[in-house]
Amino acid sequence: MTIRMKPTLHLFLAAIMAAVLFVAWGTQANAKSLSFNASDDSWMWGTSSMTYTDPVVNVLSSQDKKAYFKFAVSGAGTISSAILKVKCVTGGTATIGAYAGTGNNTWTESTLTWVNLPAVGSLLESKNITFEAGKTYAFNVGGLVTANGTYSLILKGTAGSEVTFSTKEGSSAPQLIVSDGTTPVTSQGPSLAGYTLYKDYSFGTSKNVNSLTALSNSFNAYGIAGTTVINGEWQRYQPINATNHVLTANSLDLTATPNLGGVYDGGISSGQITTKETFYPSNGKTYIFQLRAKIPNGIGTWPAFWMYSPGGTGSTSSEIDIFEFFQSPTQNHYDWTGYDHGSGVGANYYNIMTNQWVWHPGTDFSADYHLYTLVWKEGEIQKWVDGTLVKGTNFDWYGPAPQVLINLATGGGSNSNPTASTFPAKFSLDYFRVYVKN
């Protein structure tokens, strides 16, 4: 929701991003994503097994250093896609492939030797790149992992420098992530099993946020920009009030109306709420943020649900747009957008978007309420719409912990200018909830 690039530049950068994304999954519209940490990992140097408690595994072609990972997959239906995720600890330019391990799948990291190690089978995917320390890389291993079972995977270099990756004893455990296309999730998005409901803001006079006072107790009207106008937007956000924050029996309607002088830049008031609390999934936490809402469809409207640092020392460009909807010549209320910002944005390990920042499922999102979800744990975010996982991204947050913002903008650099027919525009919120799992 922060300052946007012009569409032509945005599409150019999207094309560059597409060239460097290592895995882009994309056909299961109602798939379930399952993640498994390595049960065992170790590495071999020729015929010598190295210390299995090492925080890294080494891969180097010239000295026959290979990394071994074992995963136990369970609870999946027919697996349509699978990736191996590994975090680079020491980088270098190399050609490294992920191979199927064949033969023995009963080895453990404490018993692996040259006698019982899995044989190097078929090549599943190879990368000829400069691996960078601190970044996570995804190898497509769907050619091996097709059903529940135990699998051995091998990283082997064929050229270039030595590269090391984190083990489960290191800073980031290797993961196997599978997409299950035959066991659909519910319409309520990802499973909440094991999570605790941390915050429940159900909006409406018949619910728990039933007055402007109750709304003010939990939310501020201004976010990171305060009263400063960003993105060249036409609206001016107002303090929490009965015109721009309309409570009905079952909703909070963030409302934009041209009561500051008319339909021009600065003549429109609108509503925004931002959490007083900030959030970051430290110490092994995972957060789930959910907003059930109905968006407007007027020309030039720009509803958004997003996360950004509240400012101050150390603030950066890190940003998570859980969703945005533009009303422009190229996008409308059929086009979900979920763009991520900052130097911590990594590769998408799952992606059914139409291009690098838009998903067009053929749904009129303004016709009814939909559930929009962000799952966030350190190093990874997932974005869901109702029961559909739209995108999974390797992501590191830099800067102070962010607040959550929900707002209705109008006009702006990435949007059409509103017209008189746009107003009044309503962004209707049923509830906003936060779940946490330690």
Q: What is the pLDDT of residues 176-216, one digit of tens each?
A: 988 765 443 445 678 888 999 999 999 999 999 999 999 99
369/298 Cα distance (integer angstroms): 16
Nearest to 394 by CA among 361, 348, 357: 348
- Are the C-beta atoms of residues 158 and 414 closer than 8 Å to each other? no
**Confidence (pLDDT) at 32:** 55
**Confidence (pLDDT) at 40:** 94
- Are the C-beta atoms of residues 127 and 68 closer than 8 Å to each other? no
> Predicted confidence band at 81 (pLDDT cuts at 50, 70, 90)?
confident
Mean pLDDT of 425-432: 97
Q: What is the dihedral of CA 413, 419, 420, 424, to 10 degrees?
A: -50
Residue 5 has pLDDT above 70, yes or no: no
Interval 302-312: pLDDT, tens: 999 999 987 66
- Are the C-beta atoms of residues 336 and 390 closer than 8 Å to each other? yes
Q: For residue 198, give Cα distances in angstroms to 144, 272, 290, 309, 434.
A: 39, 22, 12, 20, 5
The two tokens of residue 248 are: 């009905």
The C-alpha R_g of the chain, in whole angstroms, comes to 24
Mean pLDDT of 98-112: 94
| For the chain, percent of residues with pLDDT exceeding 90 | 65
Strand partners, 433: 200, 290
Interval 358-378: pLDDT, tens: 999 989 999 999 999 999 999
Nearest to 294 by CA among 306, 283, 303: 303
Q: Is the dihedral of CA 144, 148, 149, 153 positive or negative?
A: positive
3-class DSSP state of 108: coil
Domains delineated in the chain: 7-15+186-437 (2.60.120.200), 32-180 (2.60.120)
User: What pTM was computed for the model?
Assistant: 0.66
Interval 255-287: pLDDT, tens: 999 999 999 999 999 999 999 999 999 999 999
Q: Which helix (H) or strand (E) holds 19?
A: helix 7-20
116/105 Cα distance (integer angstroms): 9
Higher pLDDT, 336 or 223: 336
396/136 Cα distance (integer angstroms): 10
AA identity, residue 153: L
3-class DSSP state of 404: strand
Interval 26-68: pLDDT, tens: 223 344 567 788 999 999 998 888 867 789 999 999 999 999 9
Q: What is the dihedral of CA 77, 82, 87, 90, to 10 degrees?
A: 150
